[in-house]
Amino acid sequence: MSLIFSYSLRSAVVAALSLGSLMAQAQIRVGINLSTTGPAAAIGASSKNAVMLWPKEIAGKKIEYILLDDASDPGNAVKNTRKLITEEKVDVIVGPNTTPSALAMLETVAENETPMIILAASASIVEPMDAKRAWAFKMPQNDTHMTTILTQHMADHGVKTVAFIGFADAYGEGWWREFSKLAELRHIRIVANERFARTDTSVTGQVLKMMSAKPDAVLIAGSGTPAVLPQKTLIERGYKSQIYQTHGIASLEFLKLGGKDVEGTLFPTGPAVVALQLPEKHAVKKVSADFVRLYESTYGAGSATQFAGDAWGAYMLLANAIPVALKTAQPGSKAFRAALRTALENTRDLVVPQGVINMSATDHVGLDQRSRVMGKIQGGKFVYAYGG
């Protein structure tokens, strides 16, 4: 009797393992955490639009996308991450859109050894490289990339003094750290340093302090629609000199909310935002323009954004790494997640809408100077201005 039970049990276990193996090989599960509501919704909406265009098959494997909204809240982002990993059993996570959420998610993905392709900007997400950040990869350009071309533009156009106002979070602090270093190197004096929250409804006090310093230019280090508030306040208070923003503003919602008050704004940006106007010699012109045509054929002329370009780049990064990982293991397993992480880390010469990616064990962004140009808001649109 015991022999029969033992044999039956063994058969059942083998059958269960075989079924599990077949299920694990059936499809790749991609978890996506975006900010489609809350203060960062303008960013998340563009990312979601691009995700909706992602193909449903890579390297002969069906892809299942599980999309969650973190409402622009780091706490929600962590909850979503746990759900995607423990309940949905995803092989990889794409997102979030904001730096605070990305930093909050790092520990969870590392503990569960699940690679994450991030759509938020700050270099602090992937630097300095450590065991926690080893599972994180980032699509947007580091602040250093953007501040380099921005301060170059300032120096080339006679800007000697700048007032700075940035988000009172990791995004603003990252920009302050990089901008203050490069401004000093280019002999640009910072005459004011202010902060504001993404949810603030007034920045009058900060703006009055900045204006009293009579700067040649103002740099607003914010993203999405909250970055409009300081600029509107400056214009209302009569500021007439040049206003710069960061690459975090490149969304249609920013243009709509800012209206005439953001006309003439200069900002560093990824090539995808101005793809059709790039010089023909630019390294990413073709790939970037192809993406823009695809995106705008669905969402309308002028609808492509920095964030949509980053999200499409995340798909291209996955499409490049998944075939490599499949040579080692099958989806649904710890071994596949590890193989995918290794494949992502060894990405070489991959042209995406925002640049050319060459990653390494110490660089989980992999972009160089080909990843940014200067843009300008003109006639209610983002146009190419400088660089590349």
Per-residue pLDDT for 204 more than 80?
Answer: yes
Query: What average pLDDT does the segment 203-231 reach?
Result: 97
CATH of domain 143-269: 3.40.50.2300
For all residues of the chain together, what is the average pLDDT? 93
User: Domain map of the chain by residue range?
Assistant: 28-141+297-371, 143-269
* Extended beta strands in the chain, E state: 27-34, 57-58, 61-69, 92-94, 116-118, 136-138, 161-167, 189-196, 217-221, 242-245, 266-269, 350-352, 355-357, 373-378, 381-386
Per-residue pLDDT tens over the stretch 288-305: 999 999 999 999 998 999
Which pLDDT does position 351 carry in this prediction?
98
Q: Which of 334, 246, 256, 215 is nearest to 45 (CA)?
A: 256
DSSP state of 225: G
How would residue 216 be classed by pLDDT, with cut points 50, 70 and 90?
very high
Per-residue pLDDT tens over the stretch 148-179: 999 999 999 999 999 999 999 999 999 999 99
Query: What is this structure's pTM?
Result: 0.86
Burial class (CB in 10 A: 0-12, 13-18, 19+), 57: exposed
Instruction: Decide if 207 contacts 238 (C-beta within 8 A).
Output: no
How would residue 143 be classed by pLDDT, with cut points 50, 70 and 90?
confident
Per-residue pLDDT tens over the stretch 58-77: 999 999 999 999 999 999 99
How would residue 87 be classed by pLDDT, with cut points 50, 70 and 90?
very high
Query: What average pLDDT does the segment 367-381 reach?
Result: 96
Query: Fold match between 28-141+297-371 and 143-269?
Result: yes
Parallel, antiparallel or unpaired: strands 350-352 and 217-221: unpaired
46: its two tokens: 């563009």
Per-residue pLDDT tens over the stretch 1-27: 333 333 344 444 444 444 444 444 479
271: its two tokens: 């090539």
Which pLDDT does position 316 carry in this prediction?
98
Query: What average pLDDT does the segment 139-149 reach?
Result: 93
Instruction: Decide if 228 contacts 254 (C-beta within 8 A).
Output: yes
Which pLDDT does position 388 carry in this prediction?
64
How would residue 51 be classed by pLDDT, with cut points 50, 70 and 90?
very high
Query: What average pLDDT does the segment 311-319 reach?
Result: 98
Which pLDDT does position 10 carry in this prediction?
41
For residue 240, give Cα distances in angstroms to 36, 135, 173, 189, 264.
34, 46, 26, 19, 11
- Yes or no: domain 28-141+297-371 corresponds to CATH 3.30.450.20: no
Query: What average pLDDT does the segment 217-232 reach?
Result: 97
Q: Is 213 left (phi over 0), alpha (psi -120 to 50) or beta?
A: alpha
